[in-house]
């Protein structure tokens, strides 16, 4: 693996406003935190609230009877499910028919094949998150050359330019999510302890951003020491994370806490902790899904989550696709602010993230 192809610099702060927000430490609604991430090419983040359509524009889009396809990096997880739900919801309002959703299982070659298959169906729009920005680039370039309007989730293919080859890139504040989870973990630990990190071992912009956000922030707490780091390349992230976490816990039996780059690897950490009899191991992670929300609600290992807003991302992506159909100028990079989730606000945070009530399983798990 090489991190050298990824942008490492920070270029300042950009403010963004979410549709709904909950503070990092309380359940009450409040102003969201500032967006700390910049885009894959250093773009300043535009607010999702700035992406709007007039009634006349909406009517024009509906009259087009356009079609859309969604090419995921991998599906079957809460994040992807919420993204697709947000996209389908907004595309429905726009009169755009979703003709296919593909799942590449985090394999670049599979995603290239998926895009080629989708192109044969001639959709007006493809919304996608590239598995690998280099290996998939040619496939996306062919789609753009064929006149298909492209909107990206989080990651952008190499050599493609916003406003020319694609409409826009919509992301969570991944650097900010890393910052939030580090701050909440440090608070849980009282600023003291030894920790280990399980990161994503791949050329994947957004997961590296959250890794940087977490690591750069936790370094500000001199009483907390990172003693081990291990990457998981996928696609079997949970199993790989469990193996890595088990090895770390064997080497450092008194480890205080562990961070997982998102909720699926975090499940592997939880399995390793259970096998090692470490009910006291504190776990911090990113992305709010049932696999980490349930133990957080039950006060079992998980202390805190830096959550994304995938449903709102999907809504924003669909609106930007309409921009492309209309020839309307779009911001090159749009980001939604991080949402800090703790035991205190996990039920309300679920509603914020998914635009749906907390499921029965989560409510049942919650311990006051």
Whether residue 95 is predicted with pLDDT greater than 90 in this model: the reply is yes
CB atoms within 10 A of CB 179: 26
Separation of alpha carbons 130 and 17, rounded Å:
26
Per residue in 261-272, pLDDT tens? 999 999 999 999
Q: Are strands 257-260 and 282-286 parallel, antiparallel or unpaired?
A: parallel
What is residue 291's predicted lDDT score, i.e. its pLDDT? 94
3-state secondary structure 105-173: CCCHHHHHHHHHHHHHCCCCEEEECCCCCCCCHHHHHHHHHCCCEEEEECCCCCCCCECCCECEEEEEC
DSSP, res 358: P
Name which of 23-32, 233-242, 317-326 the model is least confident about: 23-32
Q: In terms of domains, do 220 and 352 share one?
A: yes
Separation of alpha carbons 6 and 158, rounded Å:
11
Q: Is 83 helix (H, G, I), strand (E, B) or coil?
A: helix
- Dihedral sign, Cα of residue 289, residue 291, residue 293, residue 296: negative
Q: In terms of domains, do 65 and 179 share one?
A: no
Name which of 26-40, 171-185, 254-268, 285-299 the model is least confident about: 26-40
**Which run of H or E residues covers position 102?**
strand 97-103
Number of domains within the chain: 2
Whichever domain contains 92, its CATH number is 3.40.50.2300
Position 37 in a domain: no
Separation of alpha carbons 256 and 251, rounded Å:
13
Per residue in 98-131, pLDDT tens? 999 999 998 999 999 999 999 999 999 999 999 9
CA nearest to 335, candidates 358, 311, 309, 354: 309
What is residue 125's predicted lDDT score, i.e. its pLDDT? 98
Separation of alpha carbons 200 and 208, rounded Å:
7
What is residue 204's predicted lDDT score, i.e. its pLDDT? 83
Kindly state the tokens that stand for 198.
């399980």
Whether residue 76 is predicted with pLDDT greater than 90 in this model: the reply is no
Q: In terms of domains, do 53 and 157 share one?
A: yes
Q: In terms of domains, do 194 and 124 share one?
A: no
Domain range enclosing 119 = 48-171+309-334
Position 23 in a domain: no
What is residue 201's predicted lDDT score, i.e. its pLDDT? 95
Q: Which residue has the higher pLDDT, 19 or 146?
A: 146
Kindly state the tokens that stand for 338.
């991080």
What is residue 206's predicted lDDT score, i.e. its pLDDT? 85
Separation of alpha carbons 170 and 18, rounded Å:
13
Supply angle C-alpha 270, 219, 2, rounded to 5.
Answer: 75
What does pLDDT average to over the chain? Answer: 90
Q: In terms of domains, do 140 and 70 share one?
A: yes
Q: In terms of domains, do 87 and 202 share one?
A: no
Q: In terms of domains, do 277 and 313 share one?
A: no
Indicate the Cα dihedral angle 300, 303, 306, 310, nearest 10°: 20
Asked if 181 and 308 touch (Cβ cutoff 8 Å), the reply is no
What is residue 5's predicted lDDT score, i.e. its pLDDT? 25
Position 18 in a domain: no
What is residue 77's predicted lDDT score, i.e. its pLDDT? 85
Asked if 173 and 328 touch (Cβ cutoff 8 Å), the reply is no
Q: In terms of domains, do 253 and 348 share one?
A: yes
Over pLDDT 70: what percentage of the chain? Answer: 91
Q: In terms of domains, do 216 and 357 share one?
A: yes
Position 206 in a domain: yes
* Residues in the chain, total: 368
Q: In terms of domains, do 108 and 183 share one?
A: no
What is residue 31's predicted lDDT score, i.e. its pLDDT? 61
Q: In terms of domains, do 141 and 57 share one?
A: yes
Position 31 in a domain: no
CA nearest to 260, candidates 201, 309, 196: 196
Position 11 in a domain: no
What is residue 13's predicted lDDT score, i.e. its pLDDT? 26
Position 43 in a domain: no
Q: Which residue has the higher pLDDT, 210 or 28?
A: 210
Asked if 163 and 332 touch (Cβ cutoff 8 Å), the reply is yes
DSSP, res 186: H
Position 123 in a domain: yes
- Residues β-bridged to residue 14: 35
Kindly state the tokens that stand for 268.
């592997």
Q: Considering the entire predicted model, what is its pTM? A: 0.83
- How far from 41 is each of 2, 37, 122, 268, 289, CA to CA, in Å? 18, 11, 29, 32, 29
- How far from 240 is each of 117, 133, 245, CA to CA, in Å? 31, 23, 9
Kindly state the tokens that stand for 329.
């100028």
Whether residue 25 is predicted with pLDDT greater than 60 in this model: the reply is no
Q: In terms of domains, do 277 and 266 share one?
A: yes
Report the pLDDT averaged over residues 235-245.
96
């Amino acid at each position: 693996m090489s991190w050298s192809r990824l942008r490492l610099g920070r270029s300042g702060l950009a403010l963004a406003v979410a549709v709904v927000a909950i503070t990092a430490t309380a359940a009450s609604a409040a102003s969201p935190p500032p967006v700390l991430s910049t885009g894959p090419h250093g773009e300043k983040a535009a607010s999702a609230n700035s992406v709007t359509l007039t009634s006349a524009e909406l009517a024009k889009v509906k009259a087009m009877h356009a079609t859309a396809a969604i090419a995921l990096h991998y599906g079957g997880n809460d994040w992807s499910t919420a993204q697709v739900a947000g996209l389908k919801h907004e595309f429905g309002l726009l009169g755009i028919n979703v003709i296919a959703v593909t799942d590449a299982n985090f394999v670049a070659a599979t995603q290239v094949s998926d895009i080629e298959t989708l192109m044969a169906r001639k959709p007006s729009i493809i919304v996608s998150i590239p598995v690998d920005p280099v290996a998939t680039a040619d496939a996306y370039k062919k789609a753009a050359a064929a006149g298909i309007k492209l909107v990206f989730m989080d990651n952008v293919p190499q050599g493609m330019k916003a406003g020319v080859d694609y409409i826009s890139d919509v992301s969570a504040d991944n650097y900010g999510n890393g910052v939030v989870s580090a701050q909440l973990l440090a608070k849980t630990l009282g600023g003291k302890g030894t920790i280990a990190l399980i990161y994503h071992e791949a050329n994947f912009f957004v997961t590296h951003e959250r890794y940087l956000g977490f690591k750069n922030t936790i370094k500000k707490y001199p009483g907390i020491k990172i003693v081990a780091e291990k990457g998981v390349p996928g696609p079997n992230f949970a199993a790989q994370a469990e193996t890595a976490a088990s090895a770390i816990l064997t080497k450092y039996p008194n480890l205080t806490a562990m961070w997982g780059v998102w909720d699926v690897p975090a499940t592997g950490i939880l399995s390793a902790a259970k096998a090692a009899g470490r009910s006291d191991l504190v776990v911090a992670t990113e992305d709010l899904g049932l696999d980490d929300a349930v133990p957080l609600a039950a006060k079992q290992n998980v202390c805190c989550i830096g959550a994304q807003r995938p449903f709102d991302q999907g809504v924003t992506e669909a609106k930007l696709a309409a921009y492309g159909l209309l020839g309307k100028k779009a911001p090159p990079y749009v980001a939604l602010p991080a949402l800090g989730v703790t035991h205190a606000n996990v039920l309300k945070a679920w509603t914020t993230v998914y635009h749906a009530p907390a499921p029965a399983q989560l409510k049942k798990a919650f311990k006051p």
